[in-house]
Amino acid sequence: MSTLPLEAYLLLSATLFTIGVVGVLTRRNAIIILMSIEIMLNAVNLSLVAFSAYLGNAEGQLLVFFVMAVAAAEAAVGLAIILALFRNQQTVYVDEVNILRW
């Protein structure tokens, strides 16, 4: 059985990260922005696991568990904030939410 080279995993990771950045920069919906941030975190996880397997140690794979915990906390807090904003402003579009403006 042949495995893919490290460059293939890094190319996929870079593609996923680019898709996430484009999603964050171009979308107005706060839920889609959170999903794009999750895609970027998963791209980082993929590259961490790829380098960990390439180098033959488990440190990168252990770091992935911490990144996944942070991603879960970010999703929970982000969705709670979006839910509170929707209850107040009746919108999830970030350019229409101006509660910090005087």
pTM equals 0.86
Helices (H), the chain: 6-26, 30-55, 59-89
- Residue keyed to tokens 């709670």: 80
- Asked whether residue 8 is domain-assigned, the answer is no
* Tens digits of residue pLDDT in 1-14: 458 899 999 999 99
Domain with residue 80: its CATH number is 1.10.287.3510
Q: Give pLDDT, residue 34.
A: 93
In a domain, 3, yes or no: no
Range of the domain at 87: 30-93
Q: 38 lies in a domain?
A: yes
Question: Could you give the CA distance from residue 102 to residue 88 in angstroms, rounded to a whole number?
Answer: 16
- Per-residue pLDDT tens digits for 59-75: 989 999 999 999 999 99
Of 36, 7, 33, 2, nearest to 19 by C-alpha is 36
Provide the domain count of the chain: 1
Give the model's confidence band at 95: pLDDT under 50 very low, under 70 low, under 90 confident, else very high.
confident
Rounded to the nearest integer, the mean pLDDT of the chain is: 90
CA distances from 38 to 15, 55, 89 (A): 14, 26, 25
pLDDT computed for residue 100 by the predictor: 61
